[in-house]
Amino acid sequence: MKVGRVFYFDASHHLPNYQGACERVHGHTYRLEVVVEDDVGQDGMVLDFGRLKQVVVEGVLEELDHCDLNQVLDNPTAENIVEWIWSRLCGQLNLDSITLWEGRGKWVRRKR
C-alpha cells in the first residue's frame, strides 16, 4: 500500500549551465510530494504521517527551505534536486516516488 504527504518550501537558485532567464538568480515555491510503499503493519498503518513529516523536515526541508540551492548543489535543476532529496530519504523511508513541482505546471518525478 502507498501513503504520501505533500510539503512546500521556498528557495532561490540559478542554473549556471543554462542560457536564458534561469541563468539569473530567481526563486520558486516548491511543492514536494513524497510517497512511500510498504505493507500495513500491526498498528494498521504503512507509516505514521507524523514520522513521515519528521523524516522529510529533518532530512530535506531544514536544509532547503529559504536557502540558495546553489549552496547545496552545483547545478540545481529540478532533476538534480530530486536526486539529492532521494539520496537523503532512501535510507530512512521505503520510497515509491518523489515528485517536485517547480511552481505551477512544471514537475519532475523519480520512481523506485
Return the closest-CA partner of residue 93 out of 58, 47, 62, 28.
47
Reading the block at residue 6, the C-alpha cell is: 505533500
Under the banding of pLDDT at 50, 70 and 90, the label for residue 51 is very high
Residue 15: predicted pLDDT: 93
With a pLDDT cut of 90, the percent of the chain lying above it is 91
- Bigger pLDDT: 19 vs 100: 100
* Choices 3.20.20.150, 3.90.1170.50, 3.20.20.10, 3.30.479.10: CATH for 2-111: 3.30.479.10
Secondary structure of residue 105 in the 3-state scheme: coil
Q: What are the pLDDT digits (tens) for 23-48?
A: 899 999 999 999 999 999 999 999 99
